[in-house]
Amino acid sequence: MTEEREIADEPRLIEQVTLPTVGLVCQRHAIFVNTGETLPAEGEAALALCGVRVTLGPAPEEMLPGVPAEVVDCADCQGIIWDEPDPRPAHARPRLYIRRVGTVPVHIVDVEGLTATTMTSLCRTVFHLGEALEQLAPGAGAPCTGCLLASLSRPALLAP
Ligand SMILES: [Zn+2]
Ligand SMILES: [Zn+2]
């Protein structure tokens, strides 16, 4: 049996109905799969947003012979979906990775370095609004050594 593992090409929410641990009402949980991650296959375990471990598979059709299964949305999963549409961890500090078009080093700009018209990188390079800049994904390109050292030595959540 060969199965192609499917890779998510965009962030996805998968629904999985689980048998109740108590009572007769099934719970519909949501599982988040980020871009590039493998979609869980049937029979595999995955972690729902609410932290419950679920096994992927068809939803139970009836709980008792002749009685269709009743399903409710898991309130915890729903709460996470609606309250935090951005699945990034809350402690992730926004940083910009900027370089001038045509140059190599990628500078790191912390939120503290942002003003309405300028961006000051950790190595104190100032970029002005209107310059030809490009923003890169974290880890892309060759980081500026000054910025890199500064980002390592600077505790992430303390002001200078
Ligand atoms: Zn849930
Ligand atoms: Zn720099």
Out of 58, 83, 108, pick the residue that ends a domain: 83
In a domain, 36, yes or no: yes
Question: For the residues 106-112, what does the mean pLDDT come to?
Answer: 88
Strand partners, 22: none
One domain, residues 79 and 108: no
In a domain, 3, yes or no: no
Out of 21, 50, 83, pick the residue that ends a domain: 83
In a domain, 88, yes or no: no
pLDDT digits (tens, 9 = 90+) for 28-72: 999 988 889 899 999 999 999 888 899 999 887 777 778 778 888
One domain, residues 18 and 75: yes
3-state secondary structure of 47: strand
Residue 1 C-beta-side C-alpha neighbours within 13 Å? 1
Whole-number Å distance, alpha carbon 5 to ligand 1 midpoint, is 24
One domain, residues 117 and 149: yes
One domain, residues 76 and 99: no
Q: Which ligand is nearest to the CA of 125?
A: 2
Can you say whether residue 101 is alpha, beta or left, with left for phi > 0 and alpha for psi between -120 and 50 degrees?
A: beta
Q: Which ligand is nearest to the CA of 49?
A: 1
One domain, residues 31 and 51: yes
Question: Six-digit token pair at 45?
Answer: 């375990």
Instruction: Of 49, 59, 65, 73, give the one whose Cα is nearest residue 18.
Output: 59
Question: ∠ at Cα 91 (152, 83), nearest 5°?
Answer: 160
Q: Which ligand is nearest to the CA of 47?
A: 1
Query: How many separate domains does the chain show?
Result: 2
At position 139, the amino acid (one-letter code) is G
pLDDT digits (tens, 9 = 90+) for 124-147: 999 988 889 998 888 889 999 999
One domain, residues 40 and 78: yes
Whole-number Å distance, alpha carbon 67 to ligand 1 midpoint, is 23
In a domain, 19, yes or no: yes
One domain, residues 35 and 68: yes
Whole-number Å distance, alpha carbon 60 to ligand 1 midpoint, is 16
Q: How confident is the model at residue 156 (pLDDT cuts 50, 70, 90)?
A: low
Range of the domain at 131: 95-153
Question: Six-digit token pair at 91?
Answer: 């402690």
Question: Six-digit token pair at 65?
Answer: 């012979």
Distance CA 77, CA 14 (A): 11
One domain, residues 145 and 123: yes
One domain, residues 121 and 79: no
3-state secondary structure of 123: coil
CB 43 within 8 A of CB 20: no
Higher pLDDT, 18 or 89: 18
Which residue do the tokens 């549409």 mark? 85
**What's the pTM value of the predicted model, to 2 decimals?**
0.48
Q: Which ligand is nearest to the CA of 150?
A: 2
Distance CA 98, CA 105 (A): 9
One domain, residues 25 and 73: yes
